A and B are shown apart, each in its own frame.
Chain A
């Protein structure tokens, strides 16, 4: 069997378009790899074999007829299981939701990727109801780190991290409320894009915190990330939070480099409370970009606290009725946080939402002076599976809420971010940096990530721990 299915999505599409390989061969090889490796990785919770083979057959037939194929023709992808997939209950990592009726339609981003030629091959493991940074799930088991099975994938889009990092698929979709794309991207050593809040439609996905929820892609190359993101843009009246923005493609400008961009490191809050590896990764990236300037966002700890409270309150409100009836069917680690959230005073969350607008104004002022900000993605490399606490800056704290200490203040105000993986010689695990830009400038974050990838500063090799 060829190794074509291990290539990037765009390389697969190139092979399918040229006839070098067929979409059917790619899909069959992908399912063989999933069957071989998923028992160790815990990435997939469902596969969609029948529809994937039908889709592959349609693409191969179109090629034989000389019809034009999409930019992602034949590339396999999978989605966090909070995306509606026609014919599957949208379990959102929970025991309760798998009793729901199967979805009657695909989430629109799935439809858009398939319109670009990609092929959905299944749904992916996640932290229950997305309230998680570990990738561990009480009902479906943990998704494992593809570079060391004894370590976490990160979450809550843990299956997305494991599946892309382990080479089961070239592309995956996930959600990010406080860091759930960027944390697994960092721990699994892959690229993740959290677009601007309101950019990609969330209709047809199970919510967590409406004020903060985003959807976005994972990939092992920046070009794949950009191609997938471009394919998913576009208006959708079914998501009331989606902003009225035109489609703003990023792929064409990917190779234009960083000349002329004002790039700075984030100082203050982002230089404390982490292991040296997190700061070394930022230093390596900043040096490569010649980003000597250090700038600060004010009141970051308050911003993070506000995001934390909004998450607790909106999450608690979403689940309070189910908690009353079915508390024992929840993952205990998730249940008790949601119950606490349901008890918080409304005045706190209103103040937190006011602080959000204030913090947004300060960030926009900062973007008058710089174009790109560099910050750590996670405070450490992947913790061990099952690890409950870690020590940061001499203080012992819980892993589950604190892996997102650097991501949470950024998603709080909806800024677009590419998480990019950095490797250190002699280390078996990667760690990510955040490449942050002004609202709606995903193109710049992707350009910077691509420039770093071209220079070999960031990269996403397939993890071989499960092979």
Chain B
């Protein structure tokens, strides 16, 4: 099955009903920019290999 390329517009369209939210056109353009940045940065996180047993640190004690 072919995986479609990332589209921030499609992402916004899918998310807005879930969030029960509307966007102005100005706001939508900026949200799109932020999603594109987040998607790019998320690759750095997603591509990093960690074991299944790796523990997250939601409440963190250094």
Contacts of A196 in B (CB 8 A): 62
Contacts of A401 in B (CB 8 A): 37
A421 to chain B, nearest CB (A): 26
Cross-chain contact B19 with A332 (CB below 8 angstroms):
no
Cross-chain contact A414 with B50 (CB below 8 angstroms):
no
Q: Which residue of A lies closest to B46 (CB)?
A: A351
Per-residue CB contact flags for chain B residues 43-62 toward chain A (1 = under 8 Å, else 0) read 01110101000111111111
B3 lies within 8 A of chain A by Cβ: no
Cross-chain contact A198 with B61 (CB below 8 angstroms):
yes
A342 lies within 8 A of chain B by Cβ: yes
A414 to B60, CA, bound (A): 8
Q: Give the size category of A's interface with B.
A: 35 or more
Per-residue CB contact flags for chain A residues 348-361 toward chain B (1 = under 8 Å, else 0) read 10111111111010
Instruction: Choose the segment among A172-180, A247-255, A306-314 that binds chain B (4+ C-beta atoms closer than 8 Å).
Output: A306-314
Cross-chain contact B30 with A343 (CB below 8 angstroms):
no
Given contacts A340-B34, A343-B19, contact A353 B61 (CB under 8 A): no
Contacts of A339 in B (CB 8 A): 19, 21, 23, 27, 31
On chain B, the number of residues with a Cβ less than 8 Å from chain A's Cβ atoms is 31
Residue of B19, B20, B34, B55 near A354 (CB, 8 A) is B55
Residue of A241, A312, A336 near B27 (CB, 8 A) is A336
Per-residue CB contact flags for chain A residues 220-250 toward chain B (1 = under 8 Å, else 0) read 0000000000000000000011010000000
B1 lies within 8 A of chain A by Cβ: no
Known: A352-B45, A415-B62. 16 other contacts (CB 8 A): A198-B61, A241-B60, A305-B41, A309-B41, A312-B34, A312-B38, A336-B27, A336-B34, A339-B27, A340-B31, A343-B12, A343-B31, A344-B42, A351-B45, A355-B45, A357-B60
Cross-chain contact B42 with A320 (CB below 8 angstroms):
no
Contacts of B15 in A (CB 8 A): 342-343
Contacts of A309 in B (CB 8 A): 38, 41-42, 45
A440 lies within 8 A of chain B by Cβ: yes
B36 to chain A, nearest CB (A): 9
Cross-chain contact A356 with B61 (CB below 8 angstroms):
no
Q: Which residue of B lies closest to A344 (CB)?
A: B38
Q: Which residues of B in the span 21-35 have a Cβ within 8 Å of any Cβ on A?
A: 21, 23, 26-27, 30-31, 34-35
**13 residue pairs from A and B, CB less than 8 Å apart:** A196-B62, A198-B60, A305-B41, A309-B41, A312-B38, A327-B21, A351-B45, A353-B58, A354-B55, A360-B62, A401-B37, A413-B62, A415-B62
A197 lies within 8 A of chain B by Cβ: yes
Cross-chain contact B38 with A336 (CB below 8 angstroms):
no
Q: Give chain A's interface secondary structure class.
A: helix
Cross-chain contact B42 with A348 (CB below 8 angstroms):
yes
Given contacts A324-B19, A351-B50, contact A340 B62 (CB under 8 A): no
A140 to B60, CA, bound (A): 34
Residue of B12, B34, B37, B56 near A350 (CB, 8 A) is B56
Per-residue CB contact flags for chain A residues 319-353 toward chain B (1 = under 8 Å, else 0) read 01001100100001001110111111000101111
Q: Which residue of A lies closest to B47 (CB)?
A: A302
A14 lies within 8 A of chain B by Cβ: no
Contacts of B27 in A (CB 8 A): 327, 332, 335-336, 339
A107 to chain B, nearest CB (A): 21
Residue of A323, A324, A337, A360 near B34 (CB, 8 A) is A337
Can you list the 5 inter-chain pairs with the closest CB atoms, starting with the nearest? A439-B62, A353-B56, A340-B34, A336-B30, A305-B41
Per-residue CB contact flags for chain B residues 3-23 toward chain A (1 = under 8 Å, else 0) read 000000001100100011101
Cross-chain contact A324 with B61 (CB below 8 angstroms):
no
Residue of A243, A308, A357 near B54 (CB, 8 A) is A357
Residue of A211, A320, A324, A341 near B60 (CB, 8 A) is A211
Cross-chain contact A354 with B54 (CB below 8 angstroms):
yes
Residue of B12, B38, B46, B58 near A211 (CB, 8 A) is B58
